[in-house]
Amino acid sequence: MTHFALTIIGRDRPGIVAKVTEILYRLGCNIADSSCTILGGQFAMILILSHPKMQSNEEFGTSFAPLEADGLSVFLRKLQPGGESAAEIDGEICMISVYGSDKPGIVYPVAKILGDMQINITDLNTKLVGTPQRPVYVMMIEAVLPAGLEIEELSSALDRLKKDLQVDIAIRSITPVEL
């Protein structure tokens, strides 16, 4: 079966998910994986989907034209075989939260430490909360620690960063639950 990545972005408003999924349903597509969020005032969605018969982007024709007519940007890309399923990532899963006053230069130093320690970031979200007078930057990271790396070692490395960035950083282990 051929898999595709579908990306949609545009000014946020109610009903976008319903419109997109209606088109996919009518086409006979299966949504294998998806992520939707609001970035600023923009709605962003990426889906991994499959279709039992369609083998190329061209076969979708003008199916997404109604979305584009509504002001959404649509990008469809055929995936290479094997690009449709999640990679097996062994290791301890943890959640890292970062809170601090909003300023440039928070994401990179945290991501750099994680990368240097061979920690795989599986999800990263940032939001600005608080008031315009007192904005608070919030970053939530789901990550997988490589074998042999303990949370305490990561915590120690991030403690040094807390002082430099003047932010609060917390780490907690997440126990996976099988459904």
Q: Which helix (H) or strand (E) holds 113?
A: helix 107-116
Q: Which residues span the domain enclosing 35? A: 2-78
The per-residue pLDDT for range 28-81, each reduced to its tens digit, is 999 999 999 988 889 999 999 999 899 999 999 999 999 999 999 999 999 988
Residue 115 shares a structural domain with residue 54: no
Q: Which helix (H) or strand (E) holds 18?
A: helix 16-27
CATH number of the domain encompassing residue 16: 3.30.70.260
Measured in whole angstroms, the distance separating CA 137 from the mean position of its chain's CA atoms is: 17
Mean pLDDT, the chain, rounded, equals 91
Residue 32 within any structural domain of the chain? yes
Residue 152 shares a structural domain with residue 98: yes
Whole-model pTM: value is 0.75
Out of 54, 78, 102, a domain closes at 78
Looking at the 3D structure of the chain, how many domains does it have? 2
Residue 36 shares a structural domain with residue 108: no
Residue 98 shares a structural domain with residue 121: yes
Cα distance between the two ends of the chain: 25
